[in-house]
Amino acid sequence: MKAYEQFDCVRYHDIKHLKSKNLCLFVGLILRNEVFVRTKSLRNNCKDRKAYTTPEILNELSCIQATRDKDGKYSKKTPYTKKEKATLQALDIQLNVIEGALNRFNKNLV
């Protein structure tokens, strides 16, 4: 849900598909608003306010990735950047929660 682009270009022949598209857009708007509200302190305390717009924050969060090792376990290979740490802190997400989720996911693979 990066933006509202391509909303009008896709046509549906079934009302169920249209309703599911509208539901996805509605949930996306709620999530974008929540990110906007929770990261307001980042924008107010930063010199470059454009660095913490909602699309920039969502792009930064999408960079947090886990990769699969040759052993079949998932882990985060790159360290968290300063911007990622600030964003996660503004969203009240602890770094150890992410690591714990990866560990629980790896336990479920066995």
Q: What is the pLDDT of residues 80-92, one digit of tens each?
A: 999 999 999 999 9
Select the more confidently predicted residue: 13 or 20. 20
Q: Please state at what angle helix 54-62 crosses helix 82-90, rounded to 10 degrees.
A: 110
Whether the Cβ atoms of residue 35 and residue 58 lie closer than 8 Å to each other: yes
Whether the Cβ atoms of residue 39 and residue 57 lie closer than 8 Å to each other: yes
Instruction: Answer whether residue 37 shows pLDDT above 90.
Output: yes
pTM of the model: 0.71
How far out from the chain centre does Cα 10 lie?
25
**Position 104: which residue type?**
R
Sign of CA pseudo-dihedral 2, 42, 60, 48: positive
